[in-house]
Structure 1
Amino acid sequence: MPQRVLVADDDRAIRESLVRALELEGYHVVPVVDGIETLTRARRDAFDALVIDVMMPGVDGLAVCRVLRAEGDHTPVLMLTARVETPDRVAGLDAGADDYLAKPFELDELLARLRALLRRASFGGGDGQESGTALRVGSLLVDPAARRAWWADEELLLSKTEFDLLELLVRNEGIVLDHSTVYQRIWGYDFGADSKNLAVYIGYLRRKLAAAGAPSLVHTVRGVGYTVRRP
């Protein structure tokens, strides 16, 4: 059975181009034109992934994503945006998007990112490995089976990607993971040296750990990557 993808974009040319490209790749595509229709279809039907434009009339893509996440819908979301500044990317990720792609984009890159999201969803985790063994670094406790994490007695409220990244780093405590390795393990695709996705999520983890009272755990090795070390 083909995987079902909802495409939401009020730009007819972009929407029709995406539908053609995705159908040629074997996906079953449902196109919609605004945020209200996106919410209606996403609530009514099951999809394997959602491709949502940020700038839509009425209810925009960020609001759509926030509502779906608040309702417990964890369908992978690839956000399309004409806004490329870091605060705009952060806003998309804060809303619960799994990835973002700036317009104008190459169809090949969109298809690659969509495949990566679908692979991650099918595995249920960043590295495709599930383990019932809790992981600990000092007072940081990560439970892969329950997909929950705590610093001391305070639970960390993490998105799916944030949890996947934290679990990967904790599993490899003391080992410096380069950018390419992290991208492949978490996103299933190496977005290249110019991508800011990883830096944004590292910033998220650091802020959430700091808000829980944790000392510096996630360290940057300049020019190489990231690692977790005990305080």
Structure 2
Amino acid sequence: MRVLVIEDNESVCSMIEMFFSKEGIEGEFVHDGLKGYHRFKEEIWDLLIVDWMLPGMDGVTICRKIREEKNTVPIIMLTAKDSESDQVLGLEMGADDYVTKPFSPLALMARIKAVTRRYQNRATGEVEVDTLQTEHFKINKNTREVLLDGNPITNLTPKEFDLLYYFAQHPKQVFSREQLLDRVWGYQFYGDERTVDVHIKRLRKKLGTASKPFFHTVWGVGYKFDESVEEEK
């Protein structure tokens, strides 16, 4: 695996590089955002890890520009910003995951493996079930196309699509945040359940209405996907 890390904190880079060495990952480190973006465009990478605050060009702009170019490389964003609005912005700009500093290197490695797993499946030609049909949704796992009542939905981030697909596979089944992190993100719970909450809110905003929210909160437990009419109180 070849990973480009755009991070201006050399101590963080040294820590990541040490764990890359243990995992057999080939990492390249750039400390300036603009230089990192140009370096990204020079070669093909398996993963991009990018800091939010960078000299030259910030990480959010890098994510946005890469996604505008229709590049689907997995992106993990590193940042000291931990507010929900900041997290939403990073995810909306195309990051697949969001790691808040300070972070555990082991947790970062788990996330790297998780976000790359789906892309590796495509590269090896693994074929999954083509289409999932529910009352309101038609979801194609291979082409990553979503139809809602026959209308195409084109503004889902990669992880929003994954979460929708997983819920649609298990209608009315209640999942805790920890379960969703494990089964959709692919890593165990590390205290960042807000990641799930943010994605649920974004899916409700993009897909649901007041009469059809689709994603329901089960208080004290977690969430479920239910195409019934009214939100639970």
TM-score (norm 2): 0.88
How far apart are 1:31 and its partner, in Å?
0.7
Distance 1:151 1:229, change over 3 A: same
Q: Give the alignment partner of residue 54 of structure 1, picking from 49, 52, 55.
A: 52
Q: Separation in 2 of the partners of 1:220 and 1:193?
A: 19
Report if the CA contact (8 A) 1:120-1:188 is conserved.
no
8 Å Cα contact 1:120/1:186 also seen in 2: no
Shift of 1:20: 2.6
Q: List 4+ stretches of structure 1 deviating above 6 A.
A: none
Indicate the RMSD between aligned Cα atoms, in angstroms: 2.0
The separation in 2 between residues aligned to 1:13 and 1:171, in whole angstroms, is 42
Q: What amino acid is the match of 2:106?
A: D
Determine the C-alpha separation between the residues in 2 that align with 1:189 and 1:214: 33
CA distance in structure 1 between the partners assigned to 2:131 and 2:89 by the alignment = 34
Instruction: Point out where structure 1 has 5 or more consecutive residues left out of the alignment.
Output: none
Q: Report the identity percentage.
A: 33
- CA positional deviation for 1:225: 2.1
Q: Which amino acid aligns with 1:37?
A: K
1:198 aligns with 2:196: yes
Count matched residues: 224
Q: Provide the residue aligned with 2:8 in structure 1.
A: 10
Which residue number corresponds to residue 21 of structure 1? 19
TM-score by length of 1: 0.89
Cα gap change, 1:140 to 1:40, in 2 (>3 Å): same
| Partners of 2:107 and 2:190 within 8 A in 1 | no
C-alpha distance 44-146 of structure 1, shift in aligned 2 (>3 A): same
What are the ranges of 5 or more consecutive residues in structure 2 without an aligned counterpart?
A: 229-233
Residue of structure 2 in register with 1:145 after alignment:
142
Comparing 27-36 and 172-181, the one that deviates more: 172-181
Q: In terms of mean alpha carbon deviation, does 81-90 or 149-158 score higher?
A: 149-158
Task: Compute the displacement of 1:68 (Å).
Answer: 0.4
Is 1:186 the counterpart of 2:184 in the alignment?
yes
